[in-house]
Homo-oligomer: A and B are copies of this chain.
Amino acid sequence: MTTAWLDRAGPQIPPADGPAMAAASAHLDQLTKPPGSLGGLETIAIRLAGIRGRLVTDIERPAVIVFAADHGVAARGVSAYPSEVTAQMVANFAAGGAAINVLARAAGAGLVVVDIGVAGGNAAAVRTELPGSSSGARLIHARIASGTQDFASGPAMTRDQALAAIETGRVVAADLIEDGADLLAIGEMGIGNTTSASAIVAALTGEPVRAVTGRGTGVDDPGLDRKVAVIDAALALHQLDPEDPIGVLAAVGGFEIAGLVGAILAAATARVPAVLDGFITGAAALVASGLAPNLPDRLLAAHRSLEPGHAIVLDRLGLRPILELDLRLGEGSGAALAIPIIRAAARICGEMATFEQAGVSGSG
C-alpha cells in the first residue's frame, strides 16, 4: 500500500485564503443590514470564501456521504444495539427510510452510502434486499473486511487496511466532487463506533477516557462503565503514539472512520467545504488534521452532539458548531440539517442588495 497520496495531502492543503475572506467580509458590510448583524451566518459565508478562495453565492449540489462498517469491539457489550443493526441500517438507507434519507432529501442533497466494512451477509445479498433504492441512497460496495477485529485484544486493523480504507474514502469523495458536488456533508453508521472514536480521541488528545466517553446510542450506566474499562485496557495494551495518527487509527479505529479521514482530506484538497456531523466525524477530522495541520480551516462543524468528547474535539479543531440541537444519531443527520443554513449564508452573499443599490442610508 502506497502512502504517496497521503504524504502529499498535508502540504497540498494550504491555510484558508485570507484575501478571499477579507473580500467576503467587505462585501457583507455593503449589504443592506447593520454590519455583522447576521452573526454566525456571516461567519459561515466568510469561512466558505476562505475554503473556496472566492465569494460563495450558493450551494447548488451538496452531497451526503455515509460510511458504514462494523466493529469487533461491539461484542464486548459497549453498545445498546447488536452489530447486525449496521447491515440492517445500510439496507434502510438504500431503501430510503432512515433519518439521513429524509434530511438529505429535505436539504436537496444527494446521498451516497459506502459499505466499507459491514459484517455479515455479502454485498450481493444486501443489494437484492433493497425495496426501492431509487428513492433511497446510492450504495457503494467497498468492504475492506467484514468488520474490524476486537481492539481490546489486538489491533482493529492492519496499517495497510487503514490506508486502503482512507484511499476508498478519498476516491468516493473525489468522484462526487468530479461530478460537481460543491459541498460534502459526511457521516457514518457502525454499531460500536463511539467506543472506537472515544479511544481515538483519548489517544490523540491525552484526555482521560472517562472525559471523552458517552452513552452513544444509549447504553446504561453499567454499559458506560464497561465501555470506559474496555478503552482504558486497550490504550494500555496498544501504547499508542499521538504523533502517528495512522497508527492510532489502525489500532483502535474503524473502517468507516478511516473512510471519513480520506473523504475529509479529498474535500480539503479540492477546496470543497466538508461539513462534519458529530463526535465520530470529529474524531476522523482529528486524525486527518494530524496529517494536514491546516485542515481545520477547510471544515465546518454542523452541530455539537451530546457525546461529552465532541466538545473537546471541536475545541481542539477550533470549530464552532452551527447547530446545538442535542443530536446523537450520527448517519450524517446533523451535517444534512446544517446544509440549509450554510446555503442561506451563501445566498445572502449572492442575492442581497447593497446600500447603494437599494438607496438605503447607512448608520450615522
Distance in angstroms from A66 CB to nearest chain B CB is: 14
How far is it, in angstroms, between the C-alpha of A322 and the C-alpha of B35 when the chains are bound? 23
**Interface flags, A59-90, vs B, CB<8A=1, else 0:** 00000000000000000000011101100110
In the complex, A364 Cα to B102 Cα: how many Å? 26
Contacts of A38 in B (CB 8 A): 99, 325, 327, 329, 333
Query: Is the pair A34, B329 in contact by a Cβ cutoff of 8 Å?
Result: yes
Which of B37, B81, B99, B347 is close to A361, meaning CB atoms less than 8 Å apart? B81
What residues on B are CB-neighbors of A312 within 8 Å? none
A149, chain B: closest CB distance, angstroms: 22
Q: Is A344 an interface residue (CB 8 A)?
A: yes
Residue A351 CB within 8 A of the other chain: yes
A254: shortest Cβ distance to chain B, in Å?
18
Whether B98 lies near A353 (C-beta < 8 A) is: yes
Verify A98–B218 contact, CB threshold 8 A: no
Q: Given A39-B327, A82-B364, A360-B89, are A341 and B351 also a contact pair (CB < 8 Å)?
A: no
A340 to B, closest residue via Cβ: B340
Q: How far does the alpha carbon of A92 sit from the alpha carbon of B97 in the complex, in Å?
A: 42
Which residues on B sit within 8 Å (CB–CB) of A156?
Answer: none
Contacts of A145 in B (CB 8 A): none
Q: Are B32 and A337 in contact (CB under 8 A)?
A: no
Q: Is A268 part of the contact surface with B, judged by Cβ < 8 Å?
A: no
Known A34-B217, A337-B344; contact A364-B103, beta-carbon cutoff 8 A: no
Residues of B near A81 (CB, < 8 A) are: 34, 361-364
- Which A residues from 136 to 150 make CB contacts under 8 A with B? none
Asked whether, in the complex, the Cβ of A32 is within 8 Å of the Cβ of B344, the reply is no
In the assembled complex, the Cα of A352 lies from the Cα of B136 at a distance in Å of 11
Q: Which of A195-214 contact B (CB under 8 A)?
A: none
Proximity bits, A18-42, B CB within 8 Å = 1, else 0 = 0000000000000111111111110
Closest residue of B by beta carbon distance from A77 = B364
Closest 10 CB pairs of A and B: A97-B353, A39-B326, A40-B325, A340-B340, A37-B329, A34-B217, A80-B363, A88-B360, A92-B358, A102-B351
Query: What are 26 pairs between A and B in contact, CB < 8 Å?
Result: A31-B99, A32-B97, A33-B329, A34-B217, A34-B329, A36-B218, A37-B217, A37-B328, A39-B326, A39-B328, A40-B325, A41-B327, A41-B337, A82-B364, A92-B358, A95-B353, A97-B352, A97-B353, A101-B351, A102-B347, A102-B351, A103-B344, A106-B340, A106-B344, A107-B344, A323-B341
**Known A32-B99, A98-B353; further 14 A-B contacts with Cβ < 8 A:** A34-B81, A34-B217, A34-B328, A34-B329, A37-B218, A80-B364, A81-B361, A84-B361, A88-B360, A88-B361, A92-B358, A102-B344, A337-B341, A340-B340
